[in-house]
Amino acid sequence: MIDILSFLIFFFIVCSFYIISSLGLNIQYGFTGMFNVGIAGFFAVGAYTSAILTGPNYADTIFGGFGLPIILGWVCAIIVSGIAGLLVGLITLKLREDFLAISTFGIAISLQLVALNVESVTRGPNGLYALPKPFAHIFDSPFVSNVCYLIICIVVITMIYYALERAVRSPWGRVLRSIREDEVAAEALGKNVFMYRLQAFILGCGIMGLAGAMYANFVRFISPQDFLPIFTIQVYVMLIVGGKGNNLGAIVGAIVIWALWSASDSLINFIVTPDFQTQAAALRIIIVGMVLVLMLVFKPSGILPEKKHVSG
């Protein structure tokens, strides 16, 4: 019983990182129509920021090991990923949609390569280890500290959800949606399209960075392997299946797809003999890909479609 419970807790904690990323993507892609394919990059920036600021001092790095409180690491992760979003946004947001996708994809790959090669800061492929986890030094039992971590995740998700809901239902969110619907008309009606896109981009990237930081302080070990493009694809599938333009949809989609991903993993391990399990792991990508295609064919607006914004 406790096994199932601790599995569920672990499942939802990891799921939280996807939920938060999916919420961050929703403000960019769902509401503003910006095709940011660099989610893994901003997630990585947040993860490394928190790891460097909160982590221990390693013998082989020249920068880091500040041992700061975790909360400070997370706040800085939001700020640093937000700044990364600002810099990337300044150079890419004037591009047409497809070019924005290609350039953000390239930037995310570059960031991953930087993490792999700047060994004096990131320890390259060896990664940063022994990162602090909240409450881990108070409770010996990993079960209890995981329960605490899940509560933190729920609190953070709730805060982000309500902040975003308020933002997208505001005049600010209305401008974002008008840009998504018709950029030329929005500009003709007095909106500085570039500035709004930049704001939405920075906000989304900051949220993705927070997800990365929370990931780093949960698994306590990060390496460039954690930030591959598959992460970006997963988050897109979650948002599209859940319902882009709907924050609740972003959450539901993340839970559904992460459940499917985890279940297909167990199923493959159960069916396939150990010799072929590495190869069979690719089946998960096929399964999730099929779900995406079926969804796009039969219900392209997602499980929870965008709601009409009606007012009195």
Which residues of the shown chain bind another protein in the complex (CB under 8 A)?
163, 166-167, 170-172, 174-175, 177-178, 180-182, 184-193, 199, 203, 306, 308-312
* Closer by beta carbon to another protein, 187 or else 265: 187
Rounded to a whole number of angstroms, the minimum distance from the CB of residue 118 to another protein is: 34
* Closer by beta carbon to another protein, 145 or else 199: 199
* Closer by beta carbon to another protein, 84 or else 175: 175
* Closer by beta carbon to another protein, 45 or else 203: 203
Rounded to a whole number of angstroms, the minimum distance from the CB of residue 196 to another protein is: 8
Rounded to a whole number of angstroms, the minimum distance from the CB of residue 33 to another protein is: 10
Rounded to a whole number of angstroms, the minimum distance from the CB of residue 193 to another protein is: 7
Rounded to a whole number of angstroms, the minimum distance from the CB of residue 52 to another protein is: 29
* Closer by beta carbon to another protein, 56 or else 307: 307
Rounded to a whole number of angstroms, the minimum distance from the CB of residue 96 to another protein is: 16
Q: Are 246 and 307 in contact (CB under 8 A)?
A: yes
* Closer by beta carbon to another protein, 174 or else 220: 174
In single-letter form, the type of residue at position 250 comes to A
